[in-house]
Amino acid sequence: MPAAGEPWLRDHGDTQVPAGAIDLAVNVLEGPPKWLADRLTRAVVDLAGYPDQHAAREAAAARHGRNAAECLPLNGAAEAFWLLAQVLKPSLAAIVHPTFTEGEAALRAAGVHVHRVFREPEQWRLDPADVPEEADFVLITRPDNPTGALDPVAVIEPLCRPGRVTVIDEAFADFLPDGGDLAARADLPGLVVVRSLTKLWGIAGLRVGYLLADATTVARLDAARQPWPVSSIGLEAIKACVAAEDERLERARRVAREREALLAALADIPGLRTWPASANFVLIRTELPDLRESLLADGLALRRGDTFPGLDPHYLRIAVRDEPTSERLRAAIIRNLKGAT
């Protein structure tokens, strides 16, 4: 269970959007492209057979120059946190915050002792020296959610060593120009990389992702699961998405343009601070602790910041949307901040 008094470790953006509000809380792009939806529709006619993950495993591994034995398809990337916690049962897990909280929830549910490592406030830099030497499990999100920080690979490398599992949550790595630097790093001891396909491709309801690690770790995790853990349609989505590199780049570039437009729209608002970002969301801070509630009255639902350890109600996360939506948000923020002065 989550730490006492912290049930919000399992409170995510999808629970924070009232009916009728514009969703700026969930950082998933709008539904799948037509070609992907069509491919998945065609796959529906072949549901009589049990799922066979071999082809999806090989395709996802090949994307990163890895062997199929080093890749594990997942029923959503979040499944990895629960598998890792239940199978590896580390003695001391260090989690770098602020970050996606499902990893900590999974570890606590498995009875693992959790040590929180906090990024440098306001700059969101990670100092590797803050990770306890005795930690045999380290969890880092890259790009970080919700801060948008992108830790240099040189910061991650020294954390990887024999006797320690270092998990890099790359749920948003598809938004990076190179698609992420670490998934191909079979040379780093104890490295586990978790990938999501739901964010950029708009298929969160399908629950698809995969994990990359050494073959021994992958085999241990796979042996602990129920049979056929990923559906045939989910496996088809993995094969389709990992092969669509040109479209991944196109979608990532579009998001980057819309993200910069959002940051530009917010840049000159008095009393509002923003940070550079690397994915499809932006973190802001305002002097008002109730700006989210005020914006809800305007029909705009932003992601709460206070459910992330290290943040408080002054922080909000905004999902990147199109420029007209960003302009509507800008006007609403200015109106509400002026009304509070």
Amino acid 21: pLDDT: 84
Q: Of 10-19, 92-101, 120-129, 241-250, give the lowest mean pLDDT range.
A: 10-19
- Residue limits of CATH 3.90.1150.10 in the chain: 7-27+246-339
* Among candidate residues 228, 237, 229, 308, the one with its CA nearest the CA of residue 56: 237
Q: Are strands 281-286 and 71-74 parallel, antiparallel or unpaired?
A: unpaired
- What confidence category does residue 20 fall into, taking pLDDT thresholds of 50, 70 and 90? confident
Tokens 């699961």 belong to which residue? 225
Instruction: Select 34-243's CATH number: 2.30.30.60, 3.40.640.10, 3.20.20.80, 3.40.50.300.
Output: 3.40.640.10
| Helix, strand, or coil (residue 24) | strand
Average pLDDT over residues 170-195: 94
Higher pLDDT, 9 or 65: 65
Q: CATH 3.40.640.10 in the chain, residues?
A: 34-243
Q: Are the C-beta atoms of 242 and 59 separated by less than 8 Å? A: yes
Assess contact for 78 and 102: CB atoms under 8 A: yes
pTM metric for this prediction: 0.93
Q: What is the CATH code of the structural domain delimited by 7-27+246-339?
A: 3.90.1150.10
pLDDT digit string (tens) for 315-325? 999 999 999 99
What is the reported pLDDT for 338? 84
Sheet with 300-304, side-by-side order of all strands = 22-24, 300-304, 315-319, 281-286, 272-274
Provide the 3-class DSSP secondary structure of residue 303: strand
146 pLDDT tier (thresholds 50, 70, 90)? very high
Give the residue from 172, 215, 164, 171 showing the smallest Cα distance to 190.
Answer: 164
Residue 1 has pLDDT above 60, yes or no: no
Q: What is the pLDDT of residue 217?
A: 98
The closest of 173, 222, 207, 216 to 193, measured between CA atoms, is 173
* Residue 227 phi, psi (nearest 5): -70, 150
pLDDT digits (tens, 9 = 90+) for 189-235: 999 999 999 999 999 999 999 999 999 999 999 999 999 999 999 99
pLDDT digits (tens, 9 = 90+) for 281-294: 999 999 889 999 99
